[in-house]
Structure formats: C-alpha cells, structure tokens
Structure 1
C-alpha cells in the first residue's frame, strides 16, 4: 500500500478519494466536505512532499497518480482540486475500472487548453514567471505566482511551516507541462464534472476544453475562490448530485 498519510472521515457508504492541490493539504483543502462523512467514506491523502507524508525533492504528478490508485480500493468517487485535479485525471486514466465518478476543480492542465487565448496567455506567463523568479524567497515567489493567476489572497508572514513546505513544493512544479490524458478519459463510462470559480481566465479555458473532450458536466460558481470546494454547501450539493448520477 501507499506510504501516504491520510485523513479519513466517515465509516459507511461509497468511498470518496479527495486529492489536494499545491498550496494546501488534505485537512485544509477539504474542511467543508467533512460534513459528507455521514454518507460517504472519505479518504483525503497528503500528497508525497506534504507532511506528514514522506518528503520529496520534486513534485511528480505521475508518481502521485500511481499512489492515488492504491487508495481507490474496489472502486471510489475521485475528486481533485488544482494540481490535485491533474493528479486525479492521471489516476483515473491508470485505473478507469476503479472510478465511480471523476470531479476536477480548476486543474492547471494547461496543455489541454492550448490554442485558446486565455490559456495560451497563462501558459506563457507561468513559464516566464517560473523561469525568472527567485525560488529561494518563498514568500515573494508565492505572492507572484498568485498574481499571475489573478488570485487575491494575502499570505501570512512569516509563513507557517506547512505553507512554507507547500510553496517549496510548488517551485518544483511545471504547470505549463502538466497535461491530462483527456482522450483516454473520453473512452471511459463514468460521469465527469469540471468546476471553476471564474477567477482565472486561463483556467476557464482549460476547463472548457476538458469539458468538451472528456466530455464532462461543466459548472461555474462565479466569484468563488480558486479552491471552489471551500464555498461549502452549494458545491457539496452539486457534488452529491454528481455522485448520485453515477448509480
């Protein structure tokens, strides 16, 4: 079995595996989904590189995907937010027979949106920023990264250890290269849901492209943060309806 640490909420019902993104962790990313533990068995792993899971020198979405597959058991609903969405899609392509449904929230699967104006602009901006930024100054790096995305989020200073670790992981990512196997997923039977919050036009382009190719239900919670699941009940209601559509 995988050596990842996990949060586990709920003792009965269908299994749900939730994969966090780059600047978060299992407990913080999915705090608003704990209320679903009366209906589902939720497993939220800490991706490799995020304490208390083992440390790594570089984030590897393919390795992460393989470890997520190990958590699916005999079958599970799979959800991923931000980079966790890319990981979730790669995991679903590795073991489609174990997926009951797939949900992704603003995944930075930038190659999938290539050719669309806002996605192309974001690809260029991300590549340029990661190439020029000082990755040793983590506070400045994170603030600049959020600025590229157009996300208005004030980070605490000094950085808490968990966030410092997350930003250090982020500096090793290459989001302009992290495509998702959409064509493979298009041949799978389980329902798919693509969710965005309207804050980053490049992510909207990527989500539109994914929704067309997968194909997937496309939901926009306009005015929501990048981590749309944190809006709580409105998102949870949509998620439950998506799960129910799988049966």
Structure 2
C-alpha cells in the first residue's frame, strides 16, 4: 500500500518512506507531511524486513530518496544494497532488526534474521549517495509521558552509522519514532540531506 503526499511542483524529487507493521500506517510519517511542499512523499508498507526489500527496490523506480523506519529500515537497507543505482540518499530511523559488527551486518536479537550476503558495509560504502541514521533518545520526561517502549538497543544506531560511513542523528526526548515525536530536528536533517 502506498500513500502519496505531494504539494510540490511537477518534477519534484521523490522520497519513498517505508514503515513497519507495528506503525500506525503512513501516519508514523505524518510529521514529514510539511516536506511535501518541496518533495513528492510516497509512504509504503508495512514492511516486515528483508523479504520486502525487492518490493521497495521496485518502488524506487528510476531514483528516489529512501527512508525506512523500524523493520522498514531493514527492508530499505536491503533495497539500497540491491538497487544502489536507484537510491539518491538513504535514511534509516530506529533500525531495530540489524546490527553492525566488524564482519558485516547481521540480524539483531531478539529476532535474529538471516541477511542476504549482499547487505555488507562494503557494498553500501561504495555508493556515492549520503546516508543518515536517526535514533530517538528517550529520557525521564519522555518516558513519563509516553510509557516508552524502545525496541532498538542503545548503540545500534552509532554502530550502524560507523559501519556504513553514515551521519548519525540522536534526537533527545524522543522514542522509537523520533520522526513523529520530534519532527522539527528530523525534518531539518532530512531537508539538508535531500537538497544537499
């Protein structure tokens, strides 16, 4: 299923936003709708992991910026590794099903997944498009307000950013959906990435 938000001029850059099965559909990216004045936003999902990677790669068509959240980030990582020519930039928000080690990228506990051997840092490092990893950093006030459940273990974002040569953004007072909880800093980073 694809939801399109497009208030931009014809020919505006495309952005594919991929959400996971636990998200409230495309609304997990509702905070990014303001960016539809400059970009054509296409929210797709739910993506449960690497098995959805080929479908996401097809959605990229001849080229789009790619953003994945939660298990949608895993599908996006697979899509980027298999169709790097179609990726303009890659953003992974709270990538909870992948961890980085010196030997490559692997499924992360508690639900280990077998990742395709093509998903290796070397494959993605050779791509000439920018990469961004975004993590929420829930604190006392956030947890008290939201009863936060934070399935991405601390440090995964930083490890993945190091492995991929990506920029890392930590969004304070935000949980597992920082793009929803604090869209301001996330949108500013996305706009810089997409216009860069």
What TM-score do you get using the length of structure 2 for normalisation? 0.80
- Asked which structure has the greater CA Rg, the reply is 1
Deviations 1:20-62 (A, max 9, x none): 02311432211111111111111111236xxxxxxxxxx4x23
Aligned counterparts, 1:221-240, within 5 A: 221-230=171-180, 231-240=182-191
Q: How many residues align?
A: 174
Q: Root-mean-square deviation (CA), in Å?
A: 2.3
Runs of 4+ in 1 over 6 A off after TM superposition: none
Indicate which of 122, 145, 150 corresponds to 1:183: 122
Q: Distance in 2 between the 1:95 and 1:105 partners?
A: 20
Q: Point out where structure 1 has 5 or more consecutive residues left out of the alignment.
A: 49-58, 116-121, 127-173
Residues 95-134 of structure 1: pairs in structure 2 closer than 5 A: 95-112=83-100, 123=109, 126=110
Does residue 39 in structure 1 map to residue 35 in structure 2?
Answer: no
Greater helix fraction, Structure 1 or Structure 2 = 1
Question: Which structure 2 residues correspond to residues 151-230 of structure 1 after superposition, within 5 A?
Answer: 174=111, 176-177=112-113, 181-199=120-138, 200=150, 203-230=153-180
Q: Unpaired segments of 5 or more residues in structure 2?
A: 139-149
RCO comparison, higher one (Cα < 8 Å, 6+): 1
Q: What aligned pairs does 1:10-159 form with structure 2 within 5 A after superposition?
A: 10=6, 12=10, 13-47=12-46, 59=48, 61-112=49-100, 123=109, 126=110
Q: Aligned equivalents of 2:63 and 2:83: distance in 1? A: 10
Task: Encode CA deviations 1:201-225: one digit per residue, 9 max, x unaligned.
Answer: 9633221111111100011012211
8 Å contact kept, 1:19–1:26: no
Find the aligned partners of 1:111 and 1:218 in 2 and give their Cα distance. Answer: 15
